[in-house]
Structure 1
Amino acid sequence: MRLAVIEGDGIGREVIPAAVEVLDAFGLELEKVSLELGYTRWERTGTAMSEEDIETIKGCDVVLFGAITTVPDPNYKSVLLTIRKELDLYANVRPVKPIPGIMGVTGRNDFDFIIVRENTEGLYSGIEEIGPDFSWTKRVVTRKGSERIAEYACKLAKQRNNKLTIVHKSNVLKSDKLFLDVCRQVASSYGVEYSDMLVDSMAYSLIMRPEKYDVVVTTNIFGDILSDMCAALVGSLGLVPSANIGEKYAFFEPVHGSAPDITGKGISNPFAAILCVKMLLEWMGNPGAPLIDEAIADVLQKKIITPDLGGVSTTAEVGHAVAEYVKYALK
Structure 2
Amino acid sequence: MPPATGAAAGHAEPSAAPPRLCVIAGDGIGPEVVPVAVEVLAKLLPALQVTEAEAGWDCFQRHGCAVPAATLASMGACGAGLFGAVSSPSRSVAGYRSAILTLRQSLGLNVNLRPVRSWPCVSPQAGVDMLILRENSEGLYSGREHWESDGVAIAERVISRQACERLAACAVQIAAARNSRRITLVHKANVLPLTCGLFRDSCRAVLEAAGYAAVLDERLVDVAALQLVQSPQAFDLIVTSNLFGDILSDLACHWSGGLGLAPSLNWGSGLALAEPVHGSAPDIAGSGRANPLAAILSVVLLLRYHWQQPLLAERIEQAVSDFLEQEGRIDFGCETTRVIGQGILTRL
TM-score for the superposition, normalised by structure 2: 0.87
1:49 aligns with 2:67: yes
Q: In percent, how many aligned pairs have the same letter?
A: 40
1:187 aligns with 207
- After TM superposition, the structure 1 = structure 2 runs for residues 71-220 of structure 1, keeping only pairs within 5 Å, are 71=89, 73-104=93-124, 108-130=125-147, 133-159=151-177, 160-174=179-193, 175-192=195-212, 193-220=215-242
Conserved? CA contact 1:147–1:183, under 8 Å: yes
Give 1:317 shift: 2.4
SS at match of 2:44: coil
In structure 2, C-alpha distance between the alignment counterparts of 1:24 and 1:156, rounded to whole Å: 26
Give 1:235 shift: 1.6
Conserved? CA contact 1:157–1:214, under 8 Å: no
In structure 2, C-alpha distance between the alignment counterparts of 1:271 and 1:2, rounded to whole Å: 21
Q: Deviations over 1:54-99 (max 9, x none)?
A: 2222222101111010045144111111111111111100001011
Which of 213, 222, 243 in structure 2 is aligned with 1:221? Answer: 243
1:317 aligns with 2:336: no
1:244 aligns with 266
In structure 1, C-alpha distance between the alignment counterparts of 2:175 and 2:326, rounded to whole Å: 35
In structure 2, C-alpha distance between the alignment counterparts of 1:194 and 1:216, rounded to whole Å: 10
Moved more, 152-161 or 164-173: 152-161
Conserved? CA contact 2:64–2:95, under 8 Å: no
* Unpaired runs of at least 5, structure 1: 327-331
Conserved? CA contact 2:115–2:130, under 8 Å: yes
SS at match of 1:25: helix
Conserved? CA contact 1:8–1:66, under 8 Å: yes
In structure 1, C-alpha distance between the alignment counterparts of 2:237 and 2:57, rounded to whole Å: 35
Conserved? CA contact 2:59–2:66, under 8 Å: yes
SS at match of 1:124: helix
* Unpaired runs of at least 5, structure 2: 1-18
Give 1:28 shift: 3.3
Q: Which has the larger radius of gyration?
A: 2
Query: Aligned partner of 2:25: which letter?
Result: E
In structure 2, C-alpha distance between the alignment counterparts of 1:249 and 1:38, rounded to whole Å: 20
Give 1:275 shift: 0.5
Judged with a 3 Å threshold, the aligned counterparts in structure 2 of structure 1 residues 269 and 109 are, in CA distance, closer, same or farther, namely same
- After TM superposition, the structure 1 = structure 2 runs for residues 7-26 of structure 1, keeping only pairs within 5 Å, are 7-26=25-44
Conserved? CA contact 1:305–1:311, under 8 Å: no
Give 1:304 shift: 8.2
User: What is the root-mean-square deviation in Å for CA atoms of aligned residues?
Assistant: 1.8
Conserved? CA contact 1:13–1:66, under 8 Å: yes
